[in-house]
Amino acid sequence: MQLKRPYLLFLGDVPDALAAKTAIGIVDWRKDWCVGQMRLPGCKADTGLPDMELQQARKAGAQTFVIGVVNAGGVLPGHWLDSVVAALDAGMDVASGLHLRLEDIPEIAEAAQRNGRALHNVRQSSQKFTTGQGTKRQGMRLLTVGTDCSVGKKYTALALEQGMRDAGLDAHFRATGQTGVFISGRGVSIDAVVADFISGAAEWVSPDTDADVWQVVEGQGSLFHPSFAGVTLGLLHGSQPDAFVVCHETTRTHMRNVEQPLPSIQDVIDLTIRCGKLTNPDIRCVGIAVNTQALDAETATRTVDEIALAHGLPAVDPIRHGVAAIVTRLKQEFDL
């Protein structure tokens, strides 16, 4: 799948920044691939890029209209349809990370055909997966896991990849969600894989490598989330991690979009080890990534220090503080 660049990021009228995390993630890691954003009235998210209308974006060179949002069920709201069709009529391809296939919407399929434009369903893989085997593979793997969905697993994995490389390790980010695929150019959206093949897809995305190569696998969902735990467990078994980092957002009391209370960090560590031992008996936690975006700098530092002390593990905000402490622990644990 080759997406033409640069992108115009479409945010629709989403209610908050988390709903636009695909667009925001692209900007945070691939800002130079984007010319601007397009928002509908009432949109409560902002990537910081210039707001543009379609013709303005085309003059700026935009080649692909990226639907940069996520929502429950991965559907395209009906009132966004005109914007997608207009983008095709303006001469842009369209790429989506939603669950639905763009060509299944007649108006979009017709607009793409009459304009000779491409439709990209980033969440839909053409790769055929087998069921997971659980056979030990060569190489090393690190997985990010979470106390909830949307807590920073992707950002932590990307930051760890860079931090590990800076420390002299051969590290490679492995995308398992639509935003990660937009950012890395390869991978598979695990949550769009038929259930029987989730662990097999995770094995495919983190295959055999040389013994000293680290594959940093982007986590999904949470083992405690009633909506997404099945995906999380399949990814854990298939990625077969040697190490994992727990990702946590400090201000939540309930899991996103459901009534269940948030599990503790220790709950996640314990259950991840218990479940992960099925395919890697030596799995271990090497750190905690704390999303402190909602806190001021002083409170953030105090919070991560308290978490580190409580768990006997390095705790950092990967964006605010960097990941050097976790990388150091990783090297110590594995004699690197």
98-154 pLDDT, tens per residue? 888 999 999 999 999 999 999 999 888 778 999 999 999 999 999 999 999 989 999
Q: Say if 134 falls within a structural domain.
A: no
SS3 174: strand
Percent of the chain's residues with pLDDT above 70: 99
Half-sphere exposure of 266 (CA within 13 A, CB side): 6
Look at residue 11 in the predicted model and tell me its pLDDT: 97
Q: Kindly state the helix (H) or strand (E) to which residue 179 belongs, with its residue range.
A: helix 178-184
Neighbours of 3 (CB within 10 A): 17
Look at residue 1 in the predicted model and tell me its pLDDT: 59
Look at residue 186 in the predicted model and tell me its pLDDT: 81
Q: Say if 131 falls within a structural domain.
A: no
Hey, what are 211's tokens? Answer: 């013994």
Do residue 117 and residue 254 come from a single domain? Answer: no
Of the listed ranges 71-75, 215-219, 331-335, the one predicted with least confidence? 71-75
pLDDT surpassing 90 at residue 270? yes
Give the structural domain span for 29: 7-121
SS3 184: helix
Do residue 151 and residue 231 come from a single domain? Answer: yes
Do residue 191 and residue 277 come from a single domain? Answer: yes
Do residue 193 and residue 312 come from a single domain? Answer: yes
Structural domain total, the chain: 2
Residue type at position 153: K
The mean per-residue pLDDT over the stretch 263-274 comes to 98
Q: Which pTM value belongs to this model?
A: 0.84
* CB-count exposure of residue 34 (10 Å: 0-12, 13-18, 19+): buried
Q: Say if 126 falls within a structural domain.
A: no
Do residue 47 and residue 116 come from a single domain? Answer: yes
From CA 181, how far away is CA 170, in angstroms rounded?
20
Look at residue 166 in the predicted model and tell me its pLDDT: 97
Asked which of 121, 149, 175 is the last residue of a domain, the reply is 121
Do residue 100 and residue 169 come from a single domain? Answer: no
Q: Are 286 and 326 in contact (CB under 8 A)?
A: yes
Asked which of 121, 156, 183 is the last residue of a domain, the reply is 121
CA distances from 193 to 90, 262, 267, 294 (A): 33, 26, 27, 33
**Alpha-carbon torsion (245, 226, 274, 173), positive or negative:** negative
pLDDT surpassing 90 at residue 320? yes
Q: Are 247 and 219 in contact (CB under 8 A)?
A: yes
Q: Say if 128 falls within a structural domain.
A: no
Q: Say if 135 falls within a structural domain.
A: no
Do residue 75 and residue 150 come from a single domain? Answer: no
pLDDT surpassing 70 at residue 208? yes
Hey, what are 99's tokens? Answer: 């669950």
**What does residue 84 show for φ and ψ, rounded to 5 degrees?**
-65, -45
Hey, what are 292's tokens? Answer: 């402190």
Confidence of residue 3 (pLDDT cuts 50, 70, 90): confident
Going by their DSSP bridges, the two strands 315-316 and 170-174 should be labelled as: unpaired
Do residue 150 and residue 117 come from a single domain? Answer: no
Do residue 49 and residue 113 come from a single domain? Answer: yes
Asked which of 90, 121, 152 is the last residue of a domain, the reply is 121
Q: Are 10 and 68 in contact (CB under 8 A)?
A: yes
**Domain of 52: which CATH number?**
3.40.50.720
**Domain of 233: which CATH number?**
3.40.50.300
Do residue 175 and residue 101 come from a single domain? Answer: no
Would you give the DSSP letter of residue 19? G
Q: Strands (DSSP E) along the chain, which ranges?
A: 7-12, 34-39, 64-67, 93-96, 119-121, 140-146, 170-174, 213-217, 243-249, 284-291, 315-316
Q: What is the mean pLDDT of the chain?
A: 95
Do residue 177 and residue 308 come from a single domain? Answer: yes
Q: Say if 317 falls within a structural domain.
A: yes
Do residue 311 and residue 219 come from a single domain? Answer: yes
Half-sphere exposure of 260 (CA within 13 A, CB side): 17
SS3 189: coil
